[in-house]
């Protein structure tokens, strides 16, 4: 391991020894300051995101605002990590929650500030220190995050950004100073991280891919559903793990909904991401566009039909596309990470549910209906970490976020996230 990395690891370890001694309520004050910095400079930070991964500037600034909201939430959160007294026959009977140490976060490029903040804030508030390994196209975002943590007054070493290669991640996880790892990324990356963490008996949290269903029942408000369907699929140019990707429509409203969906999809045209009026731009990298185009062609070669062709108009840019899928298509088992939707039809609610659950992923499904009993039927039977009713799936800092099946495991956001990287110590006896 490089000497520079070794030195930073030691810095993080030394910082942890001091940081964990600071009371929970005192730690919270740092996050209030962090929120102030994020809001005051949201335009500057938003421009960094747009420069690095081409996100429309309005969405980049909104990402920073969401980060500030998260910091506010944890700055005022209940201390759920205080010692718990358990009634037993002993004079002392308590459960304490102790931070693990230095936690490695391997974060993606699609939400460069939000994904890192979402992982780091509850992890640090719980008493740990954090090392961020950011995506290679988001190194300025990573450096800036370390700078603003330090500007907010966090002690040196509480939050560090490491510029390391993928090959060095395994060595990092194996290092004795690293006590856990959190990854937001692809299923392939998740398997590698989990394997390495398992070999070294390290706790990990995995937020992986999704192929989320957007279910349109026969009694849905089709106008509202179609408008939100386009937003759910095309926001951030479709490069979102919880984007609506599979549109599963009751056959009685299939044609009507599809007409409205097409109308809304055609409103999205590539613009200058630095223009505040732009809501759609190129994908983050050319190789990602190549991957999406290959998946599109594979789908067509295996029986899918295009309703709206995926038209490539630049190295990394497309006009959005829509595919009508057949049941035996291999692309049904893949995540489409870009501006391409898949549509299916079903004859009954039970068939819509079966199609939705017929996937290896389970992140966040959405159902559109005007009937309460029908909504509950889907909510109770959909296999995913989140079920959204008459709205697109999006994370909310107040609620736990995570997936099932191949979408990963572990919890981010809410008070539950504070428990991910702590150990429970039982203290029992008499004096």
Residue with tokens 């993080």: 12
Helix (H, G, I), strand (E, B) or coil at 369: coil
Q: Taking the alpha carbons of 284, 287, 1, 187 in that order, is the dihedral positive or negative?
A: positive
CA–CA gap between residue 372 and residue 376 (Å, rounded): 6
How far CA 168 is from CA of 12, 210, 264, in Å, comes to 18, 27, 44
CA–CA gap between residue 211 and residue 429 (Å, rounded): 51
CA–CA gap between residue 28 and residue 405 (Å, rounded): 34
Question: Active site includes 84?
Answer: no
CA–CA gap between residue 399 and residue 358 (Å, rounded): 26
- Burial string for 215-229 (b: 16+ CB within 10 Å, else e) reads bbbbebebeebbbbb
CA–CA gap between residue 26 and residue 413 (Å, rounded): 20
Largest CA distance in the chain: 76
CA–CA gap between residue 385 and residue 351 (Å, rounded): 21
DSSP string, 266-322: TT-----TTSTT------S-HHHHHHHHHHHHHHHHTT-EEEE--EE-SSS-EE-EE
Catalytic residue among 187, 207, 218, 420: 207
DSSP state of 83: P
Question: Active site includes 71?
Answer: no
- 100 closest CA partner among 23, 205, 20, 10: 20
| Alpha carbons within 13 A on the beta-carbon side of 4 | 6
Encoded tokens for 149? 């943590």
- Is the backbone of residue 303 left (phi > 0), alpha (psi -120 to 50) or beta? left
Phi first, then psi: give them for residue 309, nearest 5 degrees.
Answer: -65, 145
Catalytic residue among 204, 241, 383, 412: 241
Which of the residues are catalytic? 207, 241
């Amino acid at each position: 391991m490089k000497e520079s990395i070794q030195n930073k690891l030691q810095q993080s370890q030394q910082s942890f020894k001091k940081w964990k001694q600071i009371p929970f309520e005192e730690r919270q004050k740092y996050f209030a300051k962090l929120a102030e910095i994020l809001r005051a400079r949201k335009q500057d930070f938003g421009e960094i995101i747009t420069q690095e991964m081409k996100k429309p500037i309005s969405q980049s600034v909104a990402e920073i605002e969401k980060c500030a909201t998260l910091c506010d939430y944890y700055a005022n959160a209940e201390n759920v990590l205080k010692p718990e007294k358990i009634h037993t026959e002993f004079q002392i009977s308590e459960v304490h929650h102790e931070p693990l140490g230095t936690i490695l976060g391997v974060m993606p490029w699609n939400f460069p500030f939000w994904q890192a903040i979402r992982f780091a804030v509850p992890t640090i508030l719980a008493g740990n220190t954090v090392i961020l390994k950011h995506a290679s196209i988001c190194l300025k975002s990573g450096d800036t995050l370390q700078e603003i943590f330090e500007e907010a007054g966090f002690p040196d070493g509480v939050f560090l950004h490491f510029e390391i290669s993928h090959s060095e991640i395994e060595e990092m996880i194996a290092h004795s100073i690293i006590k856990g790892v959190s990854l937001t990324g692809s299923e392939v990356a998740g398997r590698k991280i989990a394997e390495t963490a398992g070999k070294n008996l390290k706790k990990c949290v995995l937020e992986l891919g999704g192929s989320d269903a957007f279910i349109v029942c026969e009694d849905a408000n089709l106008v509202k559903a179609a408008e939100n369907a386009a937003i759910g699929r095309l926001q951030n140019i479709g490069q979102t793990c919880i984007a609506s990707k599979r549109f599963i429509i009751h056959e009685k409203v299939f044609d009507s909904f599809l007409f409205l969906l097409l109308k809304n999809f055609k409103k999205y045209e590539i613009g200058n991401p630095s223009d505040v009026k732009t809501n759609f731009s190129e994908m983050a990298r050319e190789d990602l566009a190549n991957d999406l185009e290959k998946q599109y062609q594979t789908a067509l070669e295996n029986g899918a039909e295009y309703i709206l062709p995926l038209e490539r108009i630049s190295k990394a840019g497309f006009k959005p596309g829509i595919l009508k899928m057949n049941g035996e298509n291999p692309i049904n088992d893949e995540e489409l990470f870009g501006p391409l939707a898949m549509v299916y039809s079903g004859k009954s609610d039970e068939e819509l549910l079966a199609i939705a659950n017929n996937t290896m992923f389970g992140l966040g499904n959405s159902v559109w209906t005007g009937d309460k009993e029908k909504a509950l039927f889907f909510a109770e039977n959909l296999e995913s970490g989140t079920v959204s009713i008459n709205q697109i799936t999006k994370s909310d800092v107040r609620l736990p976020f995570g997936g099932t099946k191949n979408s990963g495991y572990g919890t981010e956001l809410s008070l539950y996230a504070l428990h991910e990287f702590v150990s429970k110590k039982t203290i029992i006896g008499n004096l």
